[in-house]
Structure 1
Amino acid sequence: MMTELTILMPCLNEAETLETCIVKAKGYLDRAGIAGEVLIADNGSNDGSQDIARRCGARVIAVPVKGYGAALIAGIAAAKGRFVIMGDSDDSYDFANLDPFVAALRDGADLVMGNRFRGGIAPKAMPPLHRYLGNPVLSTIGRVFFRTPVGDFHCGLRGFNRDAIIGLHLNTPGMEFASEMVIKATLSGLDIREVPTTLQPDGRSRPPHLRSWRDGWLHLKLLMTFAPYWLFYYPGLVLFGLGSAGFLALLFGPVTIGGVSFDVATLILSAGLVLTGFQMICFYALSRIFAVRFALLPSSARFERCKSRLSVDNACIAGGSLLLLAIFATLSGVFSWGATGFGDLDASRIVRPAALAVVAASLGVQIITTGFLAAMLQQQINPEQMPQPLQEDSA
C-alpha cells in the first residue's frame, strides 16, 4: 500500500516526551485510517531516544549534521509519504488532531502552516518575549517583505507536499529553516494555506534548544537576505533621493528655509547621502542578478528588461559622461583658484565645484564597475551546472 503521510519529528535527547508524541501520531493514523508512518530524524541523541522510538513503532534515521534544519532536511528526503507533517517532539503540538492539515493537503495545498495565535496558546507555552515581540515582529516583516499569507512564520507544526518542498532545495541547517521554507515557498508561487493549531507547554524538564536572541537574529538575517528590495533598493532610493535634492539645491549657493541657512556643510552631507544611496542601489542590482541566476529569487519581465539595459556599453557611456563632468568641475575649481593667483580661497567658492567633481567621479566609477560586474555575473557556464530559475506568477 502506498504511504500517504509521513509524520516527521526532529529529535535531540527527547526521551522524556518522544514516546507520548509517537503514540499520539500513530493513534491519529489509525483513527483516520491513513496509510502512514512516524519518522524520527535523530540528531545525535545520547539519552536512548532512538530505542524509545523503535520500541514505539517509529522509523529512525540518524542525521550526523547538527541542527534543526539539518535534521528536517534529512527527514524530508527519507520520508516515504506523499505528504509530510512535521512537528517538534517535545509534546507541545497536538499530533492527535492533524485533520485540518491533511484536508488542506488533499485539497491541493503545497504547504499548510499551523497558526498558534489563531488556535490557542496555553499559559506558559510560549515565552512572553516570543509571543509578544519576536514572533509577531518577524512574522510581520515576512508578510511585508514577501506578501505571504502566513501569520505565524515560526510554527513548528506544518504539513506539505513532499515533492513540492524538495523542489525548493532548502539548505539552512539551523532554526532559520522554518523561515526559509515559507520564504522559498512564497517566492516559488506554491499554494500556501494556514489552519489554526494549539500550543501546549512542552513536557521536558530541561531548557529548550531554542536560543531567543541568537535564533531570532538568524531568522531576521535570512529574511533580509532574501529581500534585496528592502535591504538595498528601498533604503538606497530614499538616501539617493534626499541627497540629490539637497545637493542640487545647494550646488549654486546657500539656501535659507524659515530663517535657517543651509550651506556647504549640508552640501557635503548631501553628497554623502547621494553616494551611499547609489551604492546601495548598485548592490541591489548585483544581488538580484546573482539571486535570479542561481534560483534563489524569482525573475520577472520588468527585471529582465532592466537587466538587459545594464550592459557594459551602457555603463561605460553613462559612467564616462559623469567622469567628463567631474573633469570639467575640477578644471572650473582650478581656474577659480588660478584667478586668485593660487592663494588662499574662500571655502564656499572652492567646495562646490570640488563636491560636484567628487560626486560625479564617484558615481561614474560605480556605474562602470557595476556594469562590468553585472556582465561577469551573467557569463554563460555549463547548463548542466545551472539550477533551474524560479518563476513567479506576475511581473
Structure 2
Amino acid sequence: MTHFDPLETRTDDQRAADLASALPQQIARAKTAPGFARLLADVDPAAITDAAALATLPVLRKSELSRAQGEHPPFGGFTVKPAHGFAHVFQSPGPIYEPGGTDHDWWRMGRFLHAAGIGQGDIVQNCFGYHLTPAGMIFENGARAVGAAVLPAGTGQTELQVTAARDIGCTAYAGTPDYLKVILDKAEEMGVALKFTKAAVGGGALFPSLRKEYADRGISCLQCYATADLGNIAYESAAMEGMIVDEHVIVEIVTPGTGTPVAPGEVGEVVVTSLNPDYPLIRFATGDMSAVLPGHSPCGRTNMRIKGWMGRADQTTKIKGMFVRPEQVAALVDKHAEIVKARVIATRVGEMDAMTVQIESSGGDDAAYARSVAEVLKLKGAIEVVAPGSLPKDGLVIEDQRRYD
C-alpha cells in the first residue's frame, strides 16, 4: 500500500527542519488567542524551533482549559477565531467544548483510515456518536479524506445496524473496539452475512483476544489514539508495532504533573502540541500514559512511535468509550445525603467493558442510586450497596481491574 502522503516517510533531518519552520509559526499564531497570549506572554516564538525548546513552555491541562471556558465561553480564549467561525461546536463530558472543521482531513483521521486499508470503494459503518461529542464527525471527516462512503450509524439499535450493513454492503467498521462484536454476534443470531473486512477503532482498549476474534472472522482491526481536543495523535499500521505519531502533532512523554520529559523509553504522561492552525493547542496534557518506542516502523513510516495507551496519569478512566472522572464520583456522593463514599470499578465481562459502582451507605434505594449513576456518570452500571467502613481506605475512587497485556 502506498503511504497517505510524503510526510510519512521523511528522514529525521527533514522532519526536524520542517518542525523548525512550523513550530515558531504555530507559537506565534497561538499567541493571537487571548488564552495563549496570557500563558505564553514572555515566549519569543522565533526561539521555539525544536522539541527541547518546546519543553521549556508551560503545560496546559484540561482542568485549566475547563476553568478558562467557564470564564470565557465557549473555548476559553484558546482558539484563533470565534465559535461562529467553525463548522461545528461540540460538547464533551465535563463539560468541555471543542471546535470542529470540515476542511480536508481537519482532524487528521484520514491518515489512520488509509493505514487501515480503507479508501475508495469502501462503505464505512461509522458507529461513533454523532450527538454533541465529536467522534462521529472526526471519523466521517477522515472517511471523506480517503474517498470512502459513510453510513452514519452512531450507537444502539443493533438489529437495524445489522440490517443496514447487509443492505448497503458496508465493508468497514469505525467505532469502539467492542461494539463491532455486538454487531457481529447479532448478525450471527439473525442469520445475516456481513461484508466487513476492515475495522478502524478507538475510544477504548483493543484487547489482543478481541483483535484475534476479529481476525478469525476475516476482519483486519487496527486502532488509533485520538482525543476530542486534538483529533488523531497516533495510529497503528499493518506492522502493528506500537503507534506511529501523526505528522501534524508533536508528542512529548513527561513526568506527570511536571511537564519535564522523561528519559527515552520511560513511561510518562502524553503531552501534545497540535499544528492545527485553527486550534493551536500548545503542550496540552492528555492525562494518558505511554512511552516512546525506539526506531522506525517496519511499514516504512518514519515518525516517532509510542507504545499506545498505558493507563491514566490520574484516576480518570475510560469505560465503554466514555471518561469517568473522580469529580463525577464526588458529585454522585453529594446527590444522596446517606452515601458516605463511592467507588467505581471497571472490569471486563466477556469482551465488553462493565462498570460496577460500590456505594457505602446505611440504606437507600438501589433504583434511585442507579438513576443517579446514569445521570452523573453518563453510563449505566451495576450497583452494590455496602456497609459504611467497608470500602478500602486507599484513596481510590475509580479502580480499573481490566488487564491490558
After TM superposition, is the score higher than 0.5?
A: no
Q: TM-score, normalised by structure 1?
A: 0.27
Normalized per residue, the structure richer in helix is 1
Larger relative contact order (CA 8 Å, sep ≥ 6): 1
Q: TM-score, normalised by structure 2?
A: 0.27
Which entry has the higher C-alpha Rg, 1 or 2? Answer: 1
